[in-house]
Amino acid sequence: MVSALMDKQTGKQAGESESKRNKESILEVNNLEIFYGEKRAVNGISMDIGKNSITALIGPSGCGKSTFLRSINRMNDLIPGARAEGEIIYEDLNILSEQINVVALRKEIGMVFQKPNPFPKSIYENITHALKFAGMKKKSKLDEIVEESLKKAALWEEVKDRLHKSALSLSGGQQQRLCIARTIAMKPTVMLLDEPSSALDPISNAKVEELIIDLKKDYSIIIVTHNMQQASRISDKTAFFLSGDLIEYEATEKIFTNPSVKKTEEYISGRFG
Ligand SMILES: Nc1ncnc2c1ncn2[C@@H]1O[C@H](COP(=O)(O)OP(=O)(O)OP(=O)(O)O)[C@@H](O)[C@H]1O
Ligand SMILES: [Mg+2]
């Protein structure tokens, strides 16, 4: 895995803090700062993200949740003027290092966005597109991955008889589960979800929530949500962001019942944001 993420094989790299690595963590964020031009949007945050757990990011609009999330699979690289400093350690490598192969990284750290964004292609092709691009050609293998990913995304039963119909003919909730299936097909280890159910009706939302809880046996999940009930229902740990700072990061139950910081309490009880 490690070598696949390196553009150049330069031996031991980026592993400065290797000795203190926490085996329970999948990602270790150390003093991460993110800038858009001169403006700093994330102010030197540090946090460990647990393996096979759900971490919720909460906080008012503009506090830096999406900026942080996008830095984890280097999606901010696509924004002119965006840059990050500090470390995000994954598999003993600093994700922010220039030597990281971002295409390989994004396969391991997949992302699902707020608005379902299926390709205007068939359900089947939505899942196989990237696999084919990566060189997988065998139809039986592709069929197998399509079925497995759709089952994991709890969509198989609803679409198995229409795999070659357009993905755009699906409902919003189904489209979002298809986007999750598309991410699963790449066999990631980490899934980044940016408000994945905010555009959905309550029933689709409930399905996506159930799915996310189910996925944590296989994946480490980081989810941004504005929905406090959702964060408290599904996440193990919750991080509260405010103006680019990480204010409090604790077990979800603690954050929602007995937060240590007054600002957290004010936010979760709806007094601002
Ligand atoms: N592409 C960009 N160019 C310049 N500034 C940006 C860009 N994207 C975000 N910002 C700024 O960075 C800060 C954090 O934005 P971000 O989108 O991360 O917030 P957020 O917590 O995800 O908010 P929301 O809950 O509204 O999605 C804001 O001040 C925002 O204006
Ligand atoms: Mg956002």
Helical packing angle, 172-185 and 139-152, nearest 10°: 130
Ligand 1 close to Cβ of residue 61 (< 6 A):
yes
Superfamily of domain 2-9+25-117+190-268: P-loop containing nucleotide triphosphate hydrolases (3.40.50.300)
Q: How far is the CA of 85 from the centre of ligand 2 (A)?
A: 20
Question: Considering the entire predicted model, what is its pTM?
Answer: 0.92
Which ligand is closest to the CA of 113, given by its number? 2
C-beta of 38 in contact with ligand 1 (< 6 A): no
pLDDT band at 2 (very low <50, low <70, confident <90, very high): very low
Please tell me the predicted confidence (pLDDT) of residue 20.
57
pLDDT of residue 9 exceeding 60 = no
Please report the pLDDT score of residue 1 as a whole number.
Answer: 46
pLDDT interval class at 179 (50, 70, 90): very high
Is the pLDDT at 21 greater than 60? The verdict is yes
Task: Identify which of 42, 43, 66 to mutate to test ligand 1's pocket (most ligand atoms within 8 A of the CB).
Answer: 66
- Statement: residue 226 has pLDDT above 80: yes
Question: Does the C-beta of 80 come closer than 6 Å to ligand 1?
Answer: no
**Is the distance from the beta carbon of residue 70 to the nearest atom of ligand 1 less than 6 Å?**
no
Whole-angstrom distance, CA of residue 61 vs CA of residue 51: 27
Kindly state if the Cβ of 36 falls inside 6 Å of ligand 1: yes
| Residue 201 scores a pLDDT above 90 | no
Query: Which ligand 1 atom is the nearest neighbour of the CA of 70?
Result: 18
Q: Picking from 7-21, 48-62, 129-143, 250-264, which range would have the lowest pLDDT averaged per residue?
A: 7-21
The finding on whether 65 has its CB within 6 A of some atom of ligand 1 is yes
pLDDT of residue 204: 85
Q: What proportion of the chain, given as a percentage, has pLDDT over 70? A: 94
Q: Give Cα separations from 231 to 92, 234, 271 (angstroms).
A: 29, 6, 17
Ligand 1 close to Cβ of residue 67 (< 6 A): yes
- CA angle centred on 18, ends 30 and 235, rounded to 5°: 50
- Ligand 2 is an ion; its neighbours by CB within 5 Å are 66
Q: Is 236 exposed, middle or buried (0-12, 13-18, 19+ CB in 10 A)?
A: middle
If we measure between CA atoms, which residue out of 127, 110, 268 comes closest to residue 194? 110
Q: Which atom of ligand 1 is nearest to the CA of 79?
A: 1
pLDDT at residue number 262? 97
Q: What is the rounded distance in angstroms from the CA atom of residue 70 to the CA atom of residue 234?
A: 21
**H/E element, 236:** none
Q: What is the pLDDT of residues 187-197, one digit of tens each?
A: 999 999 999 98
Quick one: pLDDT at residue 11?
46
For ligand 1, whether the C-beta of 225 sits within 6 Å is no
